[in-house]
Amino acid sequence: MTPAGTWRALTPTEQVHAHREAYIGYTVRAAGRLDLAALTTAYAAVCRAYPQLTARLDVGEDGPVLVASDALPELRTCDGDLDRPLTGVALDQRRTLSALNVVRAGDTASVCLLTHHSIADADHSIALLAAIWSRYTDAVRGTPTDLPRQPYPRSLEDLLAERGIHRNGPDGASAPKPMAMADPATVPDRIARARNGVQHRLTTAQTTALAELGHREHVTINGLLAGVLLLVEAEIRGLPLTELVYRFTVNLRRHLVPEVGATEGTNVLGGAGFTATDDLGPDAVTLGRAIGERLRAGLADGVIQRSLLDLFSQSAPQPKPWDPRAAPAVVSMMNWGLVPPMRTPDDLRLTNFHSASSIRDFTGLGGYVVNTFDGRIGVDLLWPEGDPEVPKRLDCLREQLDRLTSPR
């Protein structure tokens, strides 16, 4: 039995985010006239259409459960530093799993949609953010903002199972042990202080140059950036490349048959890992090409599709190379890909996009988040507030990217 109004119990790939109380922020910088009443209307319309945004977590007999709610989360606003998009936000997963936070400075503002990671990954959340701005434009123009109500998103486990993909292990292997939800009354204050992030954004010309380099060298932009980050971390940590484990996530939606829509699943992701060998040259092109080969091989044999199922499997036969516990030196990157254009009224422009997070976690590990917005690549450095090595990382990243994109 579970509490009344329950949607369903969280699956293992969702429970981990409840244990960590993980909220991820998707932030746009807005310049011009921001109509807060219209933004409130738009957010409410999207919340009504996508009920996961108004849900909350509760404790069931077998672990955390999602509970339906009709209470609309509030839009919060304050004046402050635009580079701190989480200023003033209040997050409690037992009350709400989403928030929309606005920080204003004159005629510019940061507008941050926060979604609990148990209900939505980046592809899912960015689609919701785009829907909010589309409804905002309609509200400003006085046109209807209502959207058809959508079903709750499905878990990765369900989406894979109906496509015949299951975790490794003998038939009938026991299911993963449920992960308990942290009790705020008994857990010490170890909030990974709101990670607003520091961003290095390439120019349009640099982004084009990186794409042209990849085309010439037959390596993806994602691979080139991964190679750059490995070089940066090797320099910052004073380690050879062969002692770094590169961990990255893969959006599985277009790699499944049939494909999965952006908001159809909660976390439709796979995990992969890579370690450089001695025969690989220490340059971004060579490393990026090798990482691309690893990615293609992992997708071809299904290892990446099964990766998160295996991570939580009690019958998994061996450690996973993409598991951060497998090595002390882990380099993590999440590439959110191309952020779609977002519709806005004529008197408002969206000039940038970046990430933020609020996570209750035992570790102080950081990582990189990459996106492409308005023709420019942005690389976010998400480390705990005040980390002394972030400025050095930023300088090293800038130098590596400038070298890679300079005319030859």
Residue 171 forms part of a structural domain: no
List residues bridging with 358 in a β-sheet.
23
Answer yes or no: do 267 and 145 share one domain. no
Q: Which of 105, 137, 144, 139 lies closest to 346 in space, CA to CA?
A: 137
pLDDT score at 171: 46
* pLDDT number for residue 60: 87
Domain holding 260: CATH number? 3.30.559.30
Same domain, 216 and 300: yes
CATH number at residue 154: 3.30.559.10
- H or E segment at 27? strand 23-32
Number of domains in the chain: 2
Rounded to whole angstroms, how far apart are CA atoms 200 and 210? Answer: 15
Residues 210 and 157 placed together within one structural domain of the fold: no
pLDDT, residue 360, reads 83
- Domain presence at residue 187: no
User: Would residue 153 count as lying in a domain?
Assistant: yes
- 125 with 203, same domain: the answer is no
Residue 398 lies inside a defined structural domain of this protein: yes
Stated length of the chain? 408
CA 205 to chain centre: 26
Series of mean pLDDT values for 10-residue runs along the chain (408 residues)? 68 94 97 98 97 94 89 93 93 95 97 98 98 98 94 96 84 50 48 70 97 97 98 95 94 97 98 94 96 97 95 59 61 95 97 93 77 97 87 97 90
Which DSSP category does 280 fall into?
S
Residue 239, domain extent: 193-350+358-405
Query: Same domain, yes or no, for 144 and 212?
Result: no
The answer to whether the beta carbons of residues 66 and 385 sit under 8 Å apart is: no
* SS3 (DSSP) at 77: strand
Contacts of 76 (CB under 8 A, 6+ apart): 88, 89, 90, 99, 100, 101, 102
Last residue of a domain, one of 118, 139, 161: 161
The answer to whether the Cα torsion of 14, 15, 17, 18 is positive or negative is positive
The pTM of the full predicted model, rounded to 2 decimals, is: 0.92
**C-alpha–C-alpha distance, residues 20 and 328, integer Å:** 20
207 in the same domain as 130: no
Q: Are 373 and 240 members of one domain?
A: yes
Contact 334, 248 (CB under 8 A): yes
Kindly state whether residues 73 and 199 are assigned to the same domain: no
Q: Which residues contact 399 (CB under 8 A, 6 or more apart)?
A: none
**Residue 64 has which token pair?**
């955390």
> Tell me, what's the pLDDT at 311?
86
* 186 falls within a domain: no
The answer to whether the CB of 29 falls within 8 A of the CB of 350 is: yes
